[in-house]
C-alpha cells in the first residue's frame, strides 16, 4: 500500500509540472490555478491512481529565483476505491529540480507536507505498522522501527525521487499505539525532517507527547544512516516524559517503570549493518516523584534523581556509572552493573544487580531528627517488574566500624507493600543504635531506650522486619547480646551498671535477660541483678504499655530496701522504718509489673517477690532486741512485706514472721510466731517476773505489734509443755511435763507492762497484770483473780522490793481454806522471805469455823507466820497469830469475849463473856489439828446444854442460878483433836463456885451429832476436896452423865448411883475417854497438850505440859 501511495504522490507531482512550465514567465509570483485546470489535474491524477481518488481545494504555483518551481495544493485527500481516506493533508508542496524539468522529467528536490494525521502501531512482537488516515489500511509495515525507516530510504533510490534532498512534515498528529504494553500516546504538532546529503541521510524530529497527564512531554530525536547501509546512529533528547512511558519504549529502560516522575535527558546509540542494536548511553534527570509500582502500594517520595548509564545489548548488561537520588528518605550516589533477563518478548522481566554506594545520607519518612550518614554500602539484588519484587541477596552497609548485613525481599501486591527484611550487626554501641533506630519504629521501646540507656555495646544483633498490607504496623523481630550496659530500668531507680545479657523481640514481645549487672543501692552497697529479665508482653498495647520486670537479685537487705524505699514505693518510709533494718545477705526473685508511661504510681504497680536472707541480724524489727537467723524467708507484694523463719530474738529461740502492710502510711508492722519460754526469755524481754517463777523451756505462740510512735505490744500464749513454773510461797509448782495455759498481753519498751496475764495449771488459775519500772525492773504483779487447789480464791499482788529480794505478797480480798492450804517454805533461794499482807473476806479454819473480815501481816520464813485479826464466822472479833509447824501452820487465837466466840462458832449458844485462848497445832491428816482451849471468867445461861443437864439431875438450886445471871465458871480448859469430819474432845473441864464439870467424847461434824460423857460435881467449892483423886472439874461427889444424838437437842442420861461412889470409883460407871491414833513422828505433835498449859505460841518448840489427872 505504501508503494501505491508513493506513485500517486509522484503522478500528482508530474501533472503539476505541466502547469509549472506554463508559468515560466511568472517567476517569483504565486499563481493560483483556475478551477478548470484544478479539476483537470485532479481528474487526470485520479485516472492514473487505478481506482483511487484525489481531491484538493486549491492549486498554486511559484517559480522562485534560480528557477526553482514549486507547486502546492491545499486540503488534499486521497481515498481508496471504497471511499475511505488514505491520506489527509492541510497542504502539500513540492520544489522541482529545473534541469530535469526542462528535459521533461519531474524530480522533486524538496517536499513539504502539512497537517498529516497518522497512526503508528507496535505489535506484541515489536513489528511496526504505519497508517495515514482512518481507513485502517496499513500504509507501511516492518519488523522494527529502524527497518521501517530503511524502507523509506529505499524509495530515495528510485525515480522520480533520486533528486530529493529534503522531506519535511509539519503539524503532524500521530497516535502511537503500543499493543505490547496496551498504552497509547498522542503526538501533537509534530515536525519531521529528512535531509539527504549524497548517500547520508539525517532524520530529525521534534514532537510533543500527550499521555493524559497535566503536562506534555517533548522529544527531540535524530537518526543518521547511509542509504545503502543498515548501520545507523540515533539520539533522543526528552523533556518531562513520564518514567513509565520511557520504560515501555525499551527493555533496557524497563527498570524505570515503578517510578512516577517526569524524566528529562538524552540517549545516544546505534545500529550495526545487521540491524542489531549497539551499545547506547543515557543521561537521565528524574524530577520530583515517587516510587510506586502499583496504585495500592504506599508511594515512596523523592525530590529528584540523576543517572548516567550504558547498555550493552550483547550482554544484556546495564552499567550505571552514576545513579544519584535526592529524597526525603535520603540521598546518595551508587554505581554498579545490572544484568537483564526475560527480554525475549521485548519487555524487561527481571534484572540482577551489583551496586556499590558511596556516602549515603538516609532519613526515610523523616524518621530521624538528623539525617543518618552512612560511609558506604554494597548490595546484590534481583529486581522483578511484573509483579514488582526486589530481592536483596546480600547487602553490606559500612557504618564506621560497625558493618550491617542485610537481606530480604520487598513485593508490591495488588493490596500494597509486602516485605521481609533481615539484618545483622556484629557489634554496635548503644548510642549509635539509637541514632539509626527510626523514631517511628517501636516508638515506646525507642523512647524508653533513649531516656534510660546511657551506655552499652550490642553484639551479634540479628533483626527482621515483616510487613504486609493487612498489617497496621510491621512486625519487628530482633535478638542480640549486650555488655557493659548502663541503664535505668525504672525511672525512680539508680542506674544498672555493668549489664550484660541477651534480648529478643518476637511477635511484639520484648524480653531482655541480664547475665550480669548491678544497681548501686542508696545504702548498703550494690545489688547484683544477674538473672533479672525485663519483658514487654505486647508492644502494640497503648497507652501505658505494660512491662514486667522479673527480678533476681543478691545483695545486702539494706541495699534492696533502700531501693524499695524510693518513691513511689517508699515501703520503709511509709512504715516509719529505716532501710538498715537487717544485716545479712539477701537472695530474692520476684516480678514487678508496671506501665511504660511518664508517671508511675504505686497504684499502677503490681509486684511480688520471694527470697532468703542468710546470716540475718536486726536490731530494728523487734525494738530493743536483736533478731538473728541463719536463713530467713522473704516475701513482698503490693499489700505487705514479710520476713519469716527460725532464729532467735536476743538469743531466745523463736520461729517468727515479720509482716509490714503497704499502702497505708503509718501502718505498723507485726511479728508473729513461736518463742521459747524460759527464765532467760523472761529476763530478756524484761517481763518483770520473779526469778524463781520459771524453769525449763517451752514454746509459746506470740504476736508482736510494732507501730511507729508507740510502744510495741505483744500477745503470747502457751500450753506450758516443757516449762516449769513455781510459786514457792504458795507451795504451787507446775512440772515441766504438765500441760497448762499461759496467756500474756504486754506492752514492751523502756518500762514493759503486762496488761493481761492468765495462768492455769496444776490447780492454779490466775489472771492479772504485771507492772514494771523504768528500765524493766519488776514493780508488781496484780492478780484480779488467783485460785489454787480449791483452797485459795483471792485477789492481790506480788509487789517488788528490789533486786534479789522476793516480792511481797498483798491479798486484797477473797477466801482461804486452811485445811486444804499448801503454803510453801518461802522459796528455795537464800533471799529474804516475802512479807504477806492479807485482807481476806473469809479464812476457813475448819468446817463451820471461819474467820471473816480477816486482816493479816504474815511472812513465809520457814512457813507461814504472823499475826491476824478477824471475826468468828462474821461475829465476835478475835486476834491471833500463826506460826509454821511441821510444814504446816499452827494458830493461837485470843478473844476478849469467849462466850461470843462460842456462840458464833456454834459450840455453846448461851455462853457469855470471858477471855479465850485457843491453840491449834497441825495433826496427822489433811485439815486436822490438835488443840487446847482455855477460857476464864465465863458464864452459861438458861437454855444451854448445861441447863438441860441440871434439870435432868434435878439440882433445883443450880437451875435457879442458871436462870438468873447464869452459872459462872472461873476456868474452862479443853484438849481436843479436830479433823475435817469430827471433833474429838479428849478432855474438858469447867470449874465454877457452884458446879464443876468434866467432859470427853466425839462431835461428828458431818452429821452434827454428839456422843459424849462427863461428870457434874455440884457445890464444887466444897466438893473440890476430892479432886485430887478425880479429873479436873470433878469433886468427891459427882454424877456421871451422857450426851447422845443431835447436837442441837441431844439426849441426856444420868447415872444417880455414881453420886454414891468416890471419885476414883466413878471410872467404873463410864467408858474410857476417846483417844487419837498417833501416826506422826514430829515430836511437836506426839502428844496432845493439856489445857492447863495453854500459853502464847512462840514457835514450833512451844509445847504445853500435861493436864492434872491426865495420867489417869
In total, the chain counts a number of residues equal to 1112
Q: Which of 379, 311, 301, 295 is nearest to 348 (CA)?
A: 311
Between CA 403 and CA 398 the distance in angstroms is: 5
Strand partners, 458: 428, 482
Give the model's pLDDT for residue 1106. Answer: 34
Give the model's pLDDT for residue 101. Answer: 66
Q: Which of 205, 212, 210 is nearest to 237 (CA)?
A: 205
The three grid cell numbers given for residue 1044, joined into one nine-digit string: 447422845
Between CA 645 and CA 652 the distance in angstroms is: 14
How much of the chain exceeds pLDDT 90, in percent? 26
**Look-up: residue for cell 545507523?**
232
pLDDT tens, residue by residue, 223-244: 999 887 889 999 999 999 999 8
Give the model's pLDDT for residue 28. Answer: 56
pLDDT tens, residue by residue, 203-225: 999 999 887 777 789 999 999 99
Across 733-743, average pLDDT: 89
Instruction: Please state whether 959 falls in left (phi above 0), alpha (psi between -120 and 50) or beta.
Output: alpha
Q: 3-class DSSP state for residue 103?
A: coil
Let me know: does 179 contact 124? Beta carbons within 8 Å.
Answer: yes
Between CA 498 and CA 907 the distance in angstroms is: 101
Give the model's pLDDT for residue 1103. Answer: 36
pLDDT tens, residue by residue, 359-393: 888 877 677 778 888 888 999 999 999 899 999 99
Give the model's pLDDT for residue 830. Answer: 47
Asked whether the predicted pLDDT for residue 29 surpasses 70, the reply is no
* Pair type for strands 929-940 and 53-55: unpaired
- What one-character-per-residue DSSP string does 379-404 give? EEEEEEETTEEEEEEEEEEE-TT--E
- Assign 1019 a pLDDT band (cuts: 50, 70, 90): low
pLDDT tens, residue by residue, 469-506: 988 878 888 899 999 988 877 777 888 899 999 999 88
Burial profile 1066-1079: b = 16 or more Cβ within 10 angstroms, e = fewer:
bbebbeebbebeee
- Assign 543 a pLDDT band (cuts: 50, 70, 90): confident
Between CA 118 and CA 133 the distance in angstroms is: 6
With a CB cutoff of 8 Å and minimum separation 6, the contacts of 150 are: 142, 225, 230
**Look-up: residue for cell 517454805?**
825
Let me know: does 672 contact 704? Beta carbons within 8 Å.
Answer: yes
The whole-angstrom distance between residue 195's C-alpha and the CA centroid of its chain comes to 90
Give the model's pLDDT for residue 693. Answer: 79
- What one-character-per-residue DSSP string does 779-794 give? EEEEEEEEEETTTEEE
pLDDT tens, residue by residue, 256-272: 999 999 999 999 999 99
Asked whether the predicted pLDDT for residue 15 surpasses 50, the reply is no
Between CA 1079 and CA 1092 the distance in angstroms is: 25
296-305, 692-701, 1085-1094: the lowest-pLDDT one: 1085-1094
Q: 3-class DSSP state for residue 116?
A: coil
The residues spanned by each domain of the chain are 1-179, 197-414, 425-618, 674-857, 911-1093
Q: What's the CA angle centered on 512, arms 507 and 514, to 5 degrees?
A: 160
Q: What's the CA angle centered on 907, arms 901 and 911, to 5 degrees?
A: 60
Q: What is the CA radius of gyration of the chain?
A: 69
Asked whether the predicted pLDDT for residue 25 surpasses 60, the reply is no
Handedness of CA 898, 904, 905, 910 (dihedral sign): positive
Between CA 222 and CA 931 the distance in angstroms is: 162
Q: How many CB atoms are closer than 10 A to CB 272?
A: 12
With a CB cutoff of 8 Å and minimum separation 6, the contacts of 472 are: none
Asked whether the predicted pLDDT for residue 1068 surpasses 60, the reply is no
pLDDT tens, residue by residue, 80-100: 777 777 788 899 898 877 677
Between CA 1039 and CA 1023 the distance in angstroms is: 12
pLDDT tens, residue by residue, 617-652: 888 877 778 888 899 898 988 888 888 999 998 889
**Look-up: residue for cell 529478643?**
504
Burial class (CB in 10 A: 0-12, 13-18, 19+), 530: middle
Backbone angles phi, psi at 948, to 5 degrees: -60, -40
Q: Which of 72, 71, 66, 64 is nearest to 26 (CA)?
A: 64
Across 125-148, average pLDDT: 78
Give the model's pLDDT for residue 384. Answer: 93
Q: Which helix (H) or strand (E) holds 555?
A: strand 545-555
Burial class (CB in 10 A: 0-12, 13-18, 19+), 361: middle
pLDDT tens, residue by residue, 819-838: 777 766 554 444 567 788 98
The three grid cell numbers given for residue 178, joined into one nine-digit string: 503500543
The rounded mean pLDDT for the chain is 81
Amino acid at each position: 500500500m505504501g508503494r501505491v501511495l508513493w506513485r500517486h504522490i509522484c503522478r500528482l507531482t508530474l501533472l503539476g509540472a505541466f502547469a509549472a512550465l506554463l508559468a515560466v514567465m511568472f517567476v517569483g509570483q504565486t499563481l493560483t490555478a483556475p478551477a478548470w485546470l484544478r479539476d483537470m489535474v485532479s481528474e487526470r491524477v485520479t485516472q492514473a491512481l487505478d481506482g483511487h481518488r484525489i481531491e484538493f481545494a486549491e492549486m498554486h504555483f511559484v517559480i522562485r529565483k534560480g528557477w526553482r518551481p514549486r507547486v502546492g495544493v491545499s486540503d488534499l485527500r486521497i481515498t481508496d476505491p471504497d471511499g475511505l481516506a488514505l491520506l489527509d493533508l492541510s497542504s502539500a508542496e513540492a520544489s522541482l529540480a529545473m534541469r530535469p524539468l526542462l528535459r521533461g522529467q519531474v524530480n522533486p528536490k524538496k517536499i513539504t507536507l502539512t497537517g498529516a494525521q497518522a497512526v503508528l502501531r507496535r505489535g506484541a512482537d515489536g513489528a511496526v505498522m504505519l497508517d495515514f488516515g482512518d481507513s485502517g489500511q496499513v500504509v507501511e509495515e516492518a519488523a522494527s522501527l529502524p527497518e521501517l525507516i530503511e524502507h523509506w530510504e529505499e524509495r530515495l533510490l528510485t525515480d522520480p525521487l533520486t533528486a530529493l534532498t529534503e522531506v519535511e512534515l509539519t503539524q503532524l498528529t500521530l497516535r502511537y499505539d503500543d499493543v505490547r504494553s496496551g498504552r497509547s500516546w498522542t503526538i501533537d504538532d509534530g515536525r519531521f525532517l529528512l535531509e539527504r546529503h549524497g548517500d547520508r541521510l539525517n532524520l530529525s524530529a521534534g514532537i510533543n507527547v500527550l499521555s493524559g497527564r497535566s503536562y506534555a512531554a517533548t522529544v527531540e530525536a535524530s537518526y543518521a544512516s547511509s542509504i545503502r547501509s543498515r548501520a545507523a546512529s540515533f539520539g533522543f533528547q526528552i523533556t518531562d516524559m513520564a518514567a513509565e512511558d520511557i520504560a515501555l519504549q525499551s527493555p533496557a529502560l524497563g527498570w524505570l517503570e515503578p517510578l512516577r516522575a517526569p524524566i528529562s535527558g538524552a540517549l545516544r546509540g546505534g545500529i550495526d549493518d545487521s540491524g542489531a542494536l549497539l551499545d547506547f548511553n543515557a543521561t537521565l534527570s528524574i524530577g520530583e516523584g515517587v516510587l510506586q509500582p502499583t496504585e495500592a502500594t504506599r508511594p515512596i517520595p523523592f525530590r529528584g534523581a540523576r543517572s548516567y548509564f550504558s547498555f550493552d545489548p550483547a550482554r544484556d548488561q546495564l552499567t550505571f556509572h552514576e545513579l544519584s537520588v535526592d529524597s526525603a528518605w535520603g540521598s546518595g550516589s551508587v554505581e554498579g552493573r545490572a544484568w537483564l533477563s526475560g527480554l525475549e518478548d521485548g519487555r524487561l522481566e527481571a534484572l540482577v544487580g551489583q551496586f556499590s554506594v558511596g556516602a549515603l545520607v538516609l532519613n526515610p519518612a523523616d524518621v530521624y531528627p538528623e539525617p543518618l550518614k552512612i560511609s558506604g554500602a554494597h548490595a546484590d539484588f534481583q529486581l522483578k517488574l511484573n509483579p514488582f519484587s526486589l530481592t536483596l541477596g546480600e547487602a553490606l552497609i559500612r557504618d564506621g566500624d560497625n558493618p550491617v548485613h542485610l537481606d530480604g525481599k520487598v513485593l508490591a501486591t495488588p493490596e500494597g507493600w509486602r516485605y521481609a527484611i533481615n539484618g545483622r550487626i556484629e557489634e554496635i554501641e548503644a548510642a549509635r543504635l539509637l541514632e539509626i533506630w527510626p523514631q517511628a519504629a517501636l516508638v515506646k521501646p525507642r523512647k524508653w531506650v533513649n531516656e534510660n540507656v546511657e551506655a552499652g555495646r550490642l553484639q551479634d544483633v540479628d533483626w527482621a522486619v515483616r510487613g504486609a498490607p493487612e498489617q497496621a504496623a510491621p512486625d519487628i523481630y530482633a535478638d542480640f547480646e549486650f555488655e557493659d550496659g548502663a541503664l535505668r530500668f525504672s525511672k525512680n531507680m539508680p542506674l544498672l551498671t555493668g549489664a550484660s545479657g541477651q534480648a529478643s523481640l518476637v511477635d511484639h514481645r520484648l524480653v531482655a535477660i541480664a547475665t550480669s549487672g548491678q544497681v548501686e543501692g542508696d545504702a548498703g552497697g550494690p545489688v547484683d541483678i544477674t538473672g533479672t529479665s525485663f519483658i514487654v508482653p505486647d508492644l502494640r498495647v497503648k497507652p501505658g504499655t505494660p512491662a514486667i520486670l522479673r527480678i533476681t537479685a543478691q545483695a545486702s537487705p539494706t541495699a534492696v530496701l533502700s531501693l524499695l524505699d524510693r518513691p513511689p514505693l517508699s515501703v520503709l518510709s511509709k512504715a516509719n522504718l529505716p532501710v538498715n533494718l537487717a544485716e545479712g545477705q539477701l537472695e530474692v526473685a520476684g516480678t514487678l509489673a508496671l506501665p511504660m508511661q511518664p508517671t508511675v504510681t504505686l497504684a499502677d504497680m503490681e509486684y511480688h517477690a520471694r527470697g532468703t536472707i542468710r546470716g540475718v541480724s536486726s536490731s530494728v524489727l523487734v525494738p530493743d532486741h536483736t533478731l538473728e537467723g541463719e536463713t530467713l524467708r522473704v516475701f513482698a507484694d503490693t499489700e505487705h512485706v514479710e520476713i519469716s523463719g527460725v532464729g532467735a530474738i536476743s538469743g531466745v529461740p523463736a520461729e517468727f514472721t515479720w509482716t509490714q502492710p503497704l499502702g497505708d502510711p503509718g501502718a505498723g508492722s507485726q511479728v508473729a510466731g513461736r518463742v521459747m519460754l524460759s527464765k532467760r526469755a523472761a529476763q530478756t524481754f524484761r517481763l518483770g517476773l520473779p526469778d524463781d517463777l520459771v524453769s525449763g523451756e517451752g514454746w509459746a505462740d506470740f504476736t508482736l505489734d510494732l507501730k511507729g510512735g508507740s510502744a510495741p505490744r505483744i500477745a503470747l500464749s502457751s500450753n506450758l509443755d516443757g516449762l516449769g513454773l513455781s510459786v514457792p510461797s504458795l507451795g504451787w509448782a507446775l512440772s515441766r511435763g504438765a500441760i497448762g495455759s499461759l496467756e500474756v498481753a504486754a506492752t514492751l519498751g523502756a518500762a514493759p507492762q503486762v496488761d493481761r496475764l492468765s495462768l492455769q495449771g496444776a490447780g492454779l488459775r490466775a489472771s492479772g497484770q504485771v507492772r514494771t519500772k523504768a528500765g524493766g525492773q519488776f514493780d508488781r504483779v496484780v492478780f484480779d483473780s488467783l485460785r489454787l487447789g480449791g483452797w485459795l480464791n483471792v485477789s492481790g499482788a506480788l509487789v517488788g522490793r528490789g533486786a534479789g529480794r522476793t516480792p511481797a505478797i498483798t491479798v486484797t480480798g477473797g477466801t482461804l481454806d486452811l485445811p486444804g492450804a499448801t503454803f510453801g517454805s518461802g522459796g528455795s533461794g537464800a533471799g529474804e522471805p516475802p512479807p504477806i499482807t492479807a485482807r481476806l473476806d473469809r479464812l476457813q479454819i475448819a468446817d463451820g469455823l471461819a474467820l471473816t473480815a480477816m486482816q493479816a501481816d504474815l511472812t513465809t520464813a520457814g512457813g507461814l507466820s504472823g499475826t491476824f485479826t478477824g471475826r468468828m464466822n462474821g461475829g465476835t472479833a478475835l486476834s491471833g497469830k500463826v506460826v509454821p509447824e511441821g510444814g504446816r501452820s499452827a494458830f493461837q487465837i485470843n478473844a476478849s469475849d469467849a462466850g461470843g466466840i462460842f456462840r458464833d462458832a456454834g459450840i455453846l449458844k448461851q455462853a457469855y463473856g470471858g477471855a479465850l485462848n485457843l491453840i491449834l497445832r497441825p495433826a496427822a491428816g489433811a485439815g486436822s489439828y490438835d488443840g487446847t482451849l482455855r477460857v476464864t471468867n465465863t458464864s452459861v445461861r438458861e437454855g444451854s446444854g448445861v441447863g438441860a443437864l441440871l434439870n435432868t439431875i434435878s439440882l433445883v438450886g443450880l437451875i435457879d442460878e442458871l436462870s438468873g445471871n447464869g452459872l459462872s465458871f472461873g476456868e474452862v480448859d479443853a484438849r481436843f483433836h479436830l479433823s475435817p469430819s469430827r471433833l474429838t474432845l479428849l478432855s474438858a473441864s469447867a470449874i465454877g463456885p457452884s458446879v464443876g464439870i468434866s467432859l470427853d467424847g466425839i462431835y461428828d461434824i458431818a452429821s452434827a451429832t454428839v456422843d459424849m460423857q462427863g461428870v457434874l460435881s455440884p457445890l464444887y467449892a466444897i466438893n473440890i476436896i476430892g479432886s485430887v483423886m478425880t479429873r479436873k472439874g470433878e469433886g468427891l461427889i459427882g454424877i456421871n452423865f451422857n450426851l447422845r444424838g443431835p447436837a442441837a437437842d441431844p439426849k441426856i442420861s444420868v447415872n444417880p448411883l455414881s453420886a454414891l461412889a468416890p471419885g476414883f470409883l466413878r471410872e467404873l460407871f463410864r467408858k474410857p475417854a476417846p483417844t487419837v491414833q498417833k501416826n506422826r513422828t514430829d515430836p511437836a505433835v506426839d502428844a496432845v497438850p493439856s489445857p492447863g498449859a495453854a500459853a502464847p505460841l512462840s514457835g514450833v518448840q512451844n509445847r504445853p505440859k500435861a493436864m492434872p489427872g491426865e495420867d489417869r
